[in-house]
Structure 1
Amino acid sequence: MIYKRRIHFYETDAQGIVHHSNYFRLFEEARGEFLRSIGMPYSKLREEGYEVVLLEAYCQFREPILYDQEVNVEINLTEMDRYFFYFNYHVWVEGKIKAIGKTKHCFIKRAKIVSIPQKLRDLLADSISKIPL
């Protein structure tokens, strides 16, 4: 799935470059849209008592992204087991890779890690791609 949006001025630093912390926001936005696209938005998960927790996050910054550029965040679910699932991200502008990232997640319910709900596991299983970073 590809998530697209334009960079806002407040996301940049004094040099006019996207601040490093905002790449993780882009990843989160793309993840939210990914879950929505498979019919399981965060709001629905929360209604069922689940929270999606970020356990690990990595980003390699290759080239700067500037104010007002349109970014494309390609998100791929790459792995899933009983408790954990992993995403890879490619951030690009005008066909050029600007950053790559990875995240690891789990579900919690009542403050405890739980197995990925079967309904979501089935939806996610159809979305797994084997694209290495």
Structure 2
Amino acid sequence: MIYTRRIYFYETDGQGVVHHSNYLRIFEEARGEFLRSLGLPYSRLREEGYEVVLLEASCQFKQPIFYDQEVNVEVHLTEMNRYFFSFSYQVFVEGKLKALGKTKHCFVKDGKLVSIPAKLRDLLTCEFHEEN
């Protein structure tokens, strides 16, 4: 899936470059839209008592991104087992790779680690096999 958005001024630092902390926010937006595209937005998962927990995150900065540039974020499910799932992110501006990211997640319900809900596991399994 590709998530597209424009960079806002408040996301930049004193040099006019997107501040490093905002990449994780962009990844979260892209991941949220990915789940929404599968028919299971965060809001619905939360209504069912689930929380998606971020366990790990990394970002490799290739080239700076500036205010008002449009970014395209390619989101890919890269790993999934009974409890954990991971995504990779490629951030492009005008076709040029600007950053690479990875996140790892799990589900928590009532404060305890739970297996990935069956509905989502089925949808993610289909997505995972289509991409690989």
Q: Normalised by the shorter chain, which TM-score bucket?
A: over 0.9
Alpha-carbon shift at residue 48 of structure 1 (Å): 0.3
Q: Which residue of 1 aligns with 2:23?
A: 23
Q: Which residue of 2 aligns with 1:68?
A: 68
User: 1:5-55: per-residue Cα shift (whole Å, max 9, x none)?
Assistant: 000000000000000000000000000000000000000000000000000
4+ aligned runs moved over 2 Å, structure 1 = none
Take 2:8 and 2:2, find their aligned partners in 1: how far apart are those partners? 19
Q: Which has the higher helix share?
A: 2
Take 1:55 and 1:87, find their aligned partners in 2: how far apart are those partners? 12
Take 2:87 and 2:100, find their aligned partners in 1: how far apart are those partners? 11
User: 1:58-81: per-residue Cα shift (whole Å, max 9, x none)?
Assistant: 000000000000000000001100
1:1-133 equivalent positions in 2, closer than 5 A: 1-128=1-128, 129-130=131-132
Take 2:34 and 2:111, find their aligned partners in 1: how far apart are those partners? 24
**Equivalent residue of 1:32, what SS?**
helix
RMSD: 0.5
Identity of aligned residues (%): 75
Take 2:34 and 2:126, find their aligned partners in 1: how far apart are those partners? 13
User: 1:71-125: per-residue Cα shift (whole Å, max 9, x none)?
Assistant: 0000000110000000000000000000000000000000110000111100111
Number of paired residues? 130
Amino acid at match of 1:111: G
**Equivalent residue of 1:68, what SS?**
coil
Amino acid at match of 1:10: Y
